[in-house]
């Protein structure tokens, strides 16, 4: 594992942990329903639309259609890091911002479920057997990540009783986030979900949890900066021309799917028109989770995995560049910057 | 085991270990070193090779931060009369350790028919102190008072004397071995010091001027950390002393503008995890089996370095009319020894093909002793001087 992997995994852990703080039970009683509706629908529609378009495209090209399912599932994911950075930098605040932070936190869970479903379905298409096992594994992975996060939250809470000064809060929080990421990787779980669970439970069981999250906020900008500079240094801009017609379709329909899903979700859950109109902009960034899906697809389908992988990496490069601008635009339009 | 898991274990076990060893009143520094030894490659092996590879980068950063913060103690408007005391005490304490250790070892080496030049190099290494451990003890127990202030200044500058002594010792050692006295080695030593002061001074000046572009506290932190890293990097590239250049940068900055205390303050709010990890990794590097190789020479080194520091500081305090408590307790609090001495050991290893390894082994072995015992002595002397109020 290189240094930049080390930094980026840790930073994603920090971001996910911080996102967990948005899920306090008190505030979730009111906001729970819209968050679920919006996140499921935006992820679901991105999946559906991209898959449909890709199926049409592959049919027209007379290629097998099962890679379409996986591409669609990857489209469901969003990248919390860039969105959170934009929110922080412009000190955005308001209902759209709050909802956005919650949605980017949990839609990765849906993405994991969808990609497991997609891989199972694609397997069924190519080999004629639908294995329920893959799906069960995905649920198990989510469940295990939540459990691990919960256990580490208890450890964190316990250790925090022994601190003697504020500086030691930092030692423990950073240490537990490292443990959460490291153990998740070791056990083959999603580090993002583990850390979100960790953050959620800490936010809900610790009395002065705000102090803990605040302590971390004081230093995390250093890591974020290093993280995005490393991401930038690793971006292969030369891959953009290989994006092709397929990649453009993917990009367009992923965004359209997200916008439709957000609008519909906001309508059903009565989250207000501001949320429905502008939250989708914050969901444009795409990064690690989608790449993870692409990597497993590459391993599963030696023949078509390559196309999936190239498409997703190329679109990710573009999304990384456009995403933050889109998030800023949406929040500005919503009047929260 | 991946590196992230290992990093998590380092921080959490370090915290837990420090709390547990607090029950037997050990300072945190010692606790971190012990935890480090436990999880290091010689025992539980929980530290991955990647972390070891990164540890050089990391320890340079931490030493840079510590030396930079030490610079804060040299505010000109506050230390008119203190200068004389700091100079006398630091020079004579360093000199005392050098002379006593060298003399004792020369006698020993003559009796066992060995060349005597290693004694001179070892003596120079004995003059070094370890600022990191000292600073951590002071911080942990919130020590404050005249002795603490003096101590912070002495550990900041005595590395300069140590570097001069080491350069001279290696030149003399070479002369005795090969019958040529290379003045260039001495000049290189002086260059390392003045180069460091120049680098740190220039960077401190520029960055204090540029700091008006900082808007938020977050940017302040990024700026300060970046600055320390940048300075360390340049110093390594130019082969000048990292500790001295960082110290000089802090010194220049603290004196340039009143509000520049913010640089030191922002570092203090984040450096605890760094220090903890630094000492744990140092502990993981400690190899206890090397203690067996210490021999009589090592024992002499330990004893006479301690005596030299104690009486050197006493003499220095007397000559500069420092308060009596300073003379009584400052020497003992200077006992921690680590990186600077090891650096001299490394130079000796490459300079003297025959006995360089022997020199290095003795320095490494005595460093194990002083790293573990030194913080205890620092704590003891600060308590005796009444500058640590509560050890709880």
Q: Which domain holds residue B151?
A: 57-384
Cβ separation of B269 and A174 shorter than 8 Å? Answer: no
Q: What is the mean pLDDT of residues A80-102?
A: 87
A310 pLDDT band, cuts 50/70/90, is: confident
DSSP E strand stretches across chain A: none
Residues A13/A185, Cβ–Cβ less than 8 Å: no
Q: Which domain holds residue A220?
A: 3-332
Q: What pLDDT, on a 0 to 100 scale, did the predictor assign at position B197? A: 92
Contacting residues of B for A162, CB less than 8 Å apart: 15, 19
Q: Of A159, A179, A214, which to mutate for an interface test with B (greatest number of B Cβ within 10 Å)?
A: A179
Residues A101/A87, Cβ–Cβ less than 8 Å: yes
d(C-alpha B346, C-alpha B340), whole Å: 10
Q: What pLDDT, on a 0 to 100 scale, did the predictor assign at position B200? A: 94
Nearest CA in chain A to B10: A175
Q: What pLDDT, on a 0 to 100 scale, did the predictor assign at position B391? A: 57
Give per-residue pLDDT as tens, B231-277: 999 999 998 888 889 999 999 999 998 888 899 999 988 888 888 98
Phi (first) and psi of residue B73, to 5 degrees:
-75, -5
Q: What is the mean pLDDT of residues A314-330?
A: 88
Q: Does B34 reside within a domain?
A: no
Cβ separation of B12 and A219 shorter than 8 Å? Answer: no
**Res. B325: pLDDT tops 90:** no
Nearest CA in chain A to B57: A3
Give per-residue pLDDT as tens, A39-74: 999 999 999 999 999 999 988 888 888 788 888 888
Mean pLDDT (chain B) is 85
DSSP B196-242: HHHHHHHHHHHHHHHGGG--SHHHHHHHHHHHHHHHHHHHHHHT--H
Q: Does B67 reside within a domain?
A: yes
- Let me know if B249 is exposed, middle or buried by CB neighbors in 10 A (0-12, 13-18, 19+): buried
* H or E stretch covering A288: helix A288-300
- Which CATH number is A205's domain given? 1.20.1530.20
Q: What pLDDT, on a 0 to 100 scale, did the predictor assign at position A41? A: 92
d(C-alpha A72, C-alpha A130), whole Å: 18
Q: Of A1, A18, A160, A167, which to mutate for an interface test with B (greatest number of B Cβ within 10 Å)?
A: A167
d(C-alpha B111, C-alpha B121), whole Å: 18
- Region for residue B336 given its phi and psi (left: phi exceeds 0; alpha: psi -120 to 50; beta: otherwise): beta
Cβ separation of B221 and A1 shorter than 8 Å? Answer: no
Answer whether A133 touches B (CB < 8 Å).
no
Residues B293/B365, Cβ–Cβ less than 8 Å: yes
**Res. B155: pLDDT tops 70:** yes
The whole-angstrom distance between A185's CA and the closest CA on chain B is 8
d(C-alpha B379, C-alpha B142), whole Å: 11
Tokens at A306, concatenated: 């390559």
Answer whether A1 touches B (CB < 8 Å).
yes
Q: For chain A, what is the domain count?
A: 1
Cβ separation of B15 and A175 shorter than 8 Å? Answer: yes
Of A1, A166, A179, the CB nearest to B12: A179
Give per-residue pLDDT as tens, B31-61: 998 998 899 888 888 888 888 888 888 888 8
d(C-alpha A110, C-alpha A108), whole Å: 5
**Res. B203: pLDDT tops 70:** yes
Tokens at B247, concatenated: 């110290």
Nearest CA in chain B to A223: B222
Residue reference for tokens 């940048």: B230
Contacting residues of A for B9, CB less than 8 Å apart: 179
Give per-residue pLDDT as tens, A189-230: 888 888 989 999 998 988 888 888 888 888 888 888 888 787
Q: Does A337 reside within a domain?
A: no
pTM as predicted: 0.84
Q: What pLDDT, on a 0 to 100 scale, did the predictor assign at position B82? A: 76
- Let me know if A62 is exposed, middle or buried by CB neighbors in 10 A (0-12, 13-18, 19+): exposed
A313 pLDDT band, cuts 50/70/90, is: confident
Nearest CA in chain B to A170: B273
Q: What pLDDT, on a 0 to 100 scale, did the predictor assign at position A2? A: 67
CB contact residues (below 8 A), chain A span 267-286, against chain B: none
Answer whether A105 touches B (CB < 8 Å).
no
Cβ separation of A222 and B225 shorter than 8 Å? Answer: yes
Of A10, A162, A218, the CB nearest to B269: A218
Q: Does B195 reside within a domain?
A: yes
Q: Does A102 reside within a domain?
A: yes
Tokens at B255, concatenated: 């004196």
- Range in B168-182, B213-227, B376-390 with the lowest mean pLDDT: B168-182
* H or E stretch covering B127: none
Give per-residue pLDDT as tens, A97-140: 988 988 888 877 788 778 777 777 777 777 766 677 777 877 88
Give per-residue pLDDT as tens, A143-197: 898 899 999 999 999 998 888 888 889 999 999 999 999 999 899 888 888 898 9
The larger pLDDT score, comparing residue B154 to residue B77, is at: B154
Q: Does B15 reside within a domain?
A: no
- Which CATH number is B280's domain given? 1.20.1530.20
- Alpha-carbon separation of residue B377 from A48, A162, B4, B336 (angstroms): 69, 26, 35, 8
**Res. A38: pLDDT tops 80:** yes
Phi (first) and psi of residue A78, to 5 degrees:
-125, 175
Q: Does B140 reside within a domain?
A: yes
Q: What is the mean pLDDT of residues B89-112?
A: 87
d(C-alpha B318, C-alpha A65), whole Å: 89
Of the candidates B36, B40, B45, the one whose C-alpha atom is nearest the C-alpha of residue B13 is B36
Q: What is the ipTM of this complex?
A: 0.84
Provide the 3-class DSSP secondary structure of residue A193: helix
The larger pLDDT score, comparing residue A307 to residue B63, is at: B63
Q: What is the mean pLDDT of residues B355-366?
A: 82
Sequence-separated (6 or more) residues with CB below 8 Å from residue A226: A7, A11
Contacting residues of B for A168, CB less than 8 Å apart: 15, 272
Q: For chain B, what is the domain count?
A: 1
Residues A266/A34, Cβ–Cβ less than 8 Å: yes
Give per-residue pLDDT as tens, B270-306: 888 888 988 888 888 877 777 787 788 888 888 888 9
């Amino acid at each position: 594992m290189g240094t930049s992997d080390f930094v980026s995994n840790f930073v994603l852990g920090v971001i996910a942990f911080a996102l967990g703080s948005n899920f306090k039970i008190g505030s979730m009683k009111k906001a729970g329903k819209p968050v679920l509706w919006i996140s499921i629908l935006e992820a679901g529609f991105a999946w559906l639309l991209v898959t449909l378009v890709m199926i049409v495209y592959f049919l027209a090209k007379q290629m097998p259609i099962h890679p379409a399912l996986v591409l669609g599932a990857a489209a469901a994911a969003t990248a919390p890091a860039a969105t959170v950075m934009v929110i922080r930098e412009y000190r955005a605040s308001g209902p759209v911002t709050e909802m956005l932070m919650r949605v980017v936190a949990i839609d990765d869970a849906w993405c994991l479920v969808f990609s497991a479903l997609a891989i199972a379905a694609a397997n069924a298409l190519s080999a004629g057997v639908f294995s329920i096992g893959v799906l069960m594994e995905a649920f198990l992975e989510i469940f295990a990540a939540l459990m691990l996060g919960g256990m580490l939250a208890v450890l964190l809470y316990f250790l925090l009783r022994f601190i003697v000064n504020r500086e030691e809060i930092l030692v423990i929080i950073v240490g537990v986030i490292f443990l959460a990421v490291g153990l998740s990787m070791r056990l083959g779980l999603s580090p993002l979900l583990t850390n979100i669970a960790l953050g959620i439970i800490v936010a809900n069981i610790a009395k002065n949890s705000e102090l803990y999250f605040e302590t971390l906020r004081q230093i995390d900008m250093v890591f974020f900066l290093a993280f995005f500079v490393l991401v930038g240094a690793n971006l292969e801009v030369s891959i953009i021309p290989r994006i092709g017609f397929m990649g453009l379709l993917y990009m367009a329909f992923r965004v359209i799917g997200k916008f439709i899903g957000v609008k519909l979700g906001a309508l059903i859950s009565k989250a207000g028109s501001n949320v429905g109109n502008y939250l989708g902009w914050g969901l444009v960034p795409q990064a690690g989770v989608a790449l993870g899906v692409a990597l497993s697809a590459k391993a599963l389908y030696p023949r078509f995995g390559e196309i999936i992988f190239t498409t997703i990496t190329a679109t990710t490069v573009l999304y990384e560049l456009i995403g933050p601008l889109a998030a800023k635009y949406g929040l500005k339009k919503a009047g929260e910057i | 085991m991946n590196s992230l898991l290992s990093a998590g274990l380092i921080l959490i076990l370090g915290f837990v270990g420090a709390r547990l060893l607090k029950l037997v009143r050990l300072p945190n520094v010692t606790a971190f070193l012990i935890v480090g030894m436990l999880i290091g490659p010689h025992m539980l092996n929980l530290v991955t090779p990647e972390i070891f590879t990164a540890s050089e980068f990391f320890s340079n950063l931490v030493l840079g931060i510590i030396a930079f913060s030490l610079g804060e103690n040299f505010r000109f408007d506050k230390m008119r009369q203190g200068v004389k005391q700091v100079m006398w005490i630091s020079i004579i304490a360093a000199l005392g350790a050098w002379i006593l250790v060298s003399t004792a070892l020369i006698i020993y080496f003559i009796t066992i028919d060995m060349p005597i030049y290693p004694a001179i190099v070892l003596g120079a290494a004995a003059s070094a102190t370890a600022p990191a451990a000292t600073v951590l003890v002071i911080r942990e127990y919130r020590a404050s008072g005249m002795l603490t202030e003096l101590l912070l200044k002495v550990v900041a500058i005595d590395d300069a004397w140590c570097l001069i002594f080491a350069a001279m010792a290696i030149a003399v050692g070479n002369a005795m071995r090969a019958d040529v006295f290379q003045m260039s080695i001495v000049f290189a030593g002086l260059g390392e010091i003045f180069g460091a002061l120049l680098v740190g001074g220039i960077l401190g000046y520029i960055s204090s001027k540029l700091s008006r572009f900082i808007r938020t506290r977050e940017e302040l932190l990024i700026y300060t950390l970046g600055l320390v890293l940048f300075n360390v990097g340049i110093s390594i590239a130019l082969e000048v002393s990292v500790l001295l250049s960082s110290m000089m940068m802090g010194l220049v900055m603290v004196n340039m503008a009143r509000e520049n205390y913010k640089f030191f303050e922002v570092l203090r709010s984040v450096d605890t995890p760094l220090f903890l990890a630094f000492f744990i990794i140092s502990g993981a590097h400690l190899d206890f089996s090397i203690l067996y190789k210490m021999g009589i020479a090592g024992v002499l080194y330990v004893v006479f370095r301690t005596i030299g520091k104690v009486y050197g500081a006493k003499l220095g305090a007397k000559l500069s009319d420092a308060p009596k408590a300073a003379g009584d307790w400052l020497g003992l609090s200077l006992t921690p020894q680590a990186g600077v001495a090891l650096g001299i050991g490394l130079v000796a290893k490459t300079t003297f093909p025959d006995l360089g390894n022997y020199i290095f082994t003795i320095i490494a072995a005595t460093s194990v002793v002083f790293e573990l015992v030194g913080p205890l002595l620092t704590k003891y002397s600060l308590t005796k001087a009444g500058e640590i109020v509560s050890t709880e």
